[in-house]
A and B are shown apart, each in its own frame.
Chain A
Amino acid sequence: MNGGRSKRLREKSVFKIVGIVLLMVLVGLMFTIVDRLPVIGNPDSAPNRHVSDYYIEEGPELTHSPNLVTGVLADFRGFDTLLETTVMFLAGVSVAMILSNRLKRHWDAGIFRKDENFGGYEVKVIMPILIPVIIVYAFYVLMHGEVSLGGGFQAGALLAMAFMLYIMFADLGKNKFRITQHFTVCVAACGVFIYFLTGFLCMINGGRFLEYEALPFSAEHGAELHATGILMIETGVTIGVMATIITILEAVVERNSLNGRS
């Protein structure tokens, strides 16, 4: 891509004007149909008639989870959640793979001082209290995904946030808690694999993929197996999400230290 010619093209105001006109057309189009969309809470509109009735009436008993959002996400449409977790894993692998290219130092941003020490007793006292609380809360959110708000994605993100806080504020001279990106990618792969394994176990035992009634565990009535299945897949999602977020963070931080500022 020759920089000179395309730079001049980019700055031509014709393209900007055309872009703004098209944007106005799109916004106008959206405005004209926004009053024809179904009203929230109207029980006669199409989205609330066909499939939602079944979900609301039969959902909580069939999937054994009072939180209907988790019920739909992890049970009725559990396959979509497997694919979304795969997308997260894919994002982690891609970012780590692209950023691991050892380029020469292209930019010189001398803004940040070299001798920054996040010392002070606010950090040294509050962080050791806050980080374990976040970790315990993450496990709470994971286990209570079916009953109240929560689920796998939130729990994984909270665990990763605890790790991030530790990396940013801990005194890294003393304990270098450095993990390689290969390791975190493997952990993410294990997380997604746990999800895949749950479905595969159901398949081996004679049911369809992700049919929790066919899990090879013993339970009193079939609905409890749903709860077990949902817990297993949420664990897989948690591990996958946590490892992906840590991978991306490590990739960016390592890129910084390659460029000479750490």
Chain B
Amino acid sequence: MSNMIISNLPVLVVLLPLAGALFCPVISYFSRRAGRLTVIAFAGTSFVLSVVQLLRITDVGKISYHFGGWEPPFGIEFSLDSLSAVLLVLISGTGFVSTIYSLPFFRGKSRFRSFGYYSVLSLLICGLLGMTSTGDVFNLYVFLEITSLSGYALIAMGGDKGVLSSFRYLMIGTIGASFYLLGIAFIYGETGTLNMYDMSGLVGPVLSSGTTMVAMAFFVVGFGIKMALFPLHGWQPAAYTNAHPGAAPLIAGVMGKVPAYAMLRFFFYVFNANTQYVERFLVVVGIMSALGMIYGSLKAIRQTDFRSMLAYSSIAQIGYVGLGIAITGYYGLMGAVIHIIGHSMMKSCLFFCSGAIRYRYGETAMERFGQIYRKMPVTCAAIVIAALSMVGVPPLAGFFSKWYLALGAANMGEYIFIFVLVISSLLNAVYFFRLFENMFMNKNVADGSKGIGAYLAVKAEKKAERDSVPFKEMAATKEGYKGRLEIPPAMLFAVIVSALGIILAGLFNAQLVEILGPAIREVV
């Protein structure tokens, strides 16, 4: 039994959340709570298995899994190295914490919305895990589709504005996916295979032909739309702002980063990035990233809504990853990968806290965050940790990625990138310290009776009256949340875990670089 699990680890990690999503509707017929717990159980098992897989890869080096028993160019394969394994742990961990975090938002909701949300969230986790594991170009497209569709559905659950933003994202995202598909078609026409490892062997002679260059341009545009690189970012601020608060951490933190990782895979592992033809495209990506860093930071200063500020900040931060891809040395790539990992944790932490504040007070406008630190000390501490990490204060995770990026830019002699990096960090500091000023020094006290917790409690009470059943006491009442802890324990768990993750990723950065080292040295 354990032999079967060990030898089939890559599939189990990706497909257990899918099984959870399939069980959820059927179990929800009988009990809503059992349906949610099923999804949480499957997501947790997937996380444990991904940690086991990481340990196995640090022993073995690389794992390749052939579906259906067919050899790679003729069948599909999952190919994992240490880079994929670390990202898998990150994605499944964030997904598991998100499923727990969303529990309080669904007390008393209708059966359909409850199981629908959990099914789609579980499928989002499955899609993200699959995008990271796969070694086949068309399989990546199908997983990209699963990720995007679940993203549209989860953003559309955020109310009226969510539906509009999700529709805009749907239009633009479908165009992005179509560009990627066209790119696959052209590169298949040139090389004749769909397997990444095989293609890297066959693409050498045809790298200079016009069709391959067009294919690469289409890949840049397709992935750029999905990860919201500067001129292609139009859908992102509204989508992140209006997403459902339980799914926003996963969408904002992880869903924007995995296409960047896929771009890294394409340009370094499939196309050899050290040739001059590919370097032209990387220069374009670098320019777009640099402009995005400045634009995102400037626009974030103007925002009054917390979530919008975080969304524009994400545009800047994904620019850092693009910058790392454009600076092609070892340090540049290492900086990009560490930034993917670190920023996922930072953004998820900030969105967890934003959802918590919204649950308790119903406020997302920053000027009304006054004196929140008295009632929600742990949440404010987590916001402070995450914000300091985003600015780049040393022992936290954000500092190391900027350090590596600056080292890489200095090695390659592109000093303009260091300049842009420093300016962007200073602008980050401006808007985050404005948030601190509002939280700690503002005199208006936020009002507790408008939070989502209070709203759900009022609805549950009315429903209990209508059905003439005794009303079960909830921790939230119509005056606001009055539990023992500052927010429901499920949400507090998520906030604390993500803040701890930022601290640990900063402290143990050397070990992380050591694990990722072999995978990155392959392509440099």
**CA–CA, A238 to B142, complex, Å?**
19
Binds B, one of A71-79, A116-124, A153-161: A71-79
Are B112's CB and A182's CB within 8 A?
A: yes
B373 on the A face (CB < 8 A) = no
Interface readout for A209-246 with B: 1 if CB under 8 Å, 0 if not? Answer: 11111100000000000000000000000000000000
A-B contact count (CB 8 A): 164
- With A1-B238, A84-B142, A182-B25 known as contacts, the answer to whether A47 contacts B68 (CB < 8 A) is no
| Interface residues in A181-197 (C-beta closer than 8 Å to B) | 181-182, 185-186, 189-190, 192-193, 196
Contact of B192 among A48, A210, A214 (CB under 8 A): A48
Q: Answer whether residue B139 sits at the interface, using C-beta atoms and an 8 A cutoff.
A: yes
Contact A186 B192 (CB under 8 A): no
Q: List 22 A-B contacts (CB under 8 A).
A: A1-B164, A37-B211, A38-B189, A46-B189, A46-B191, A47-B188, A55-B74, A76-B75, A77-B75, A78-B67, A86-B18, A93-B120, A96-B112, A97-B157, A98-B157, A100-B112, A196-B19, A203-B11, A206-B4, A208-B66, A208-B69, A212-B68
Decide: A211 and B68 in contact? CB cutoff 8 A: yes
Give Cα A33 to B215, complex, Å.
10
B157 neighbours in A (Cβ, 8 Å): 97-98
B161 in contact with A189 (CB, 8 Å): no
Q: Is B434 an interface residue (CB 8 A)?
A: no
In the bound assembly, the distance between CA atoms of A96 and B156 in angstroms comes to 12
For B75, the chain A residues whose CB sits under 8 A away are 76-77
Within 8 A of A (CB), among B181-215: 186, 188-194, 198, 202, 206, 209-211, 214
Residue B117 lies at the interface, judged by CB distance under 8 Å to chain A: yes
A90 and B67 in contact, given A36-B210, A46-B190 (Cβ under 8 angstroms): no
B267 CB, min distance to chain A CBs, angstroms = 20
Indicate if A13 sits at the interface (CB-CB under 8 A): no
Evaluate contact between A192 and B22: CB separation under 8 angstroms. Answer: yes
Q: Which of B29, B113, B142, B191 has the most CB of A within 10 A?
A: B142
Contacts of A186 in B (CB 8 A): 25-26, 29
A204 adjacent to chain B (CB < 8 Å): yes
Q: How far is the CA of A46 from the CA of B28 in the complex (A)?
A: 50
A interface bracket (residues with beta carbon within 8 Å of B): 35 or more
Which of these binds chain A: B52-60, B147-155, B280-288?
A: B147-155
Judged by a CB distance under 8 angstroms, whether B104 is at the interface is no
Residues of B close to A84: CB separation below 8 A: 142
* B146 on the A face (CB < 8 A): yes
Are A86's CB and B191's CB within 8 A?
no
Contact with A along B210-230 (1 / 0, CB 8 A): 110010000000000000000
Is B209 touching A36 in the complex (CB atoms < 8 A)?
Answer: yes
> What is the interface of chain A, defined by CB distance below 8 A to chain B?
1, 29, 32-33, 36-38, 45-52, 54-55, 75-80, 83-84, 86-87, 89-91, 93-94, 96-98, 100, 181-182, 185-186, 189-190, 192-193, 196, 203-204, 206-214
Distance in angstroms between the alpha carbons of A47 and B139 in the assembled complex: 18
For the complex, give the distance between the alpha carbons of A1 and B238 in Å.
9
When chains A and B are docked, how far (Å) is the Cα of A45 from the Cα of B8?
37
| 8 Å CB interface, B226-281 against A | 238
Which residues of chain A are near B113, meaning CB under 8 Å? 97, 100
Give me 10 other A-B pairs in contact (C-beta within 8 A), A50-B73, A94-B116, A196-B19 excluded. A1-B238, A33-B210, A36-B209, A51-B192, A87-B142, A93-B153, A94-B153, A181-B112, A186-B29, A189-B26
10 closest Cβ pairs, A-B complex: A97-B116, A94-B153, A46-B192, A211-B69, A50-B192, A83-B142, A189-B22, A210-B68, A47-B192, A79-B67
Complex Cα distance A38/B185, Å? 11
Q: How far is the CA of A193 from the CA of B143 in the complex (A)?
A: 18
Question: Within 8 Å CB of A210, what residues of B?
Answer: 67-68
Contact A93 B4 (CB under 8 A): no
Check if B130 is an interface residue, CB within 8 A of chain A. yes
CB contacts (< 8 Å) of A86 on chain B: these are 18, 123, 126, 146
| In the bound complex, CA of A209 to CA of B202 (Å) | 28
Please judge, given known A-B contacts A76-B70, A98-B153, whether A83 and B143 are in contact too, CB under 8 Å: yes
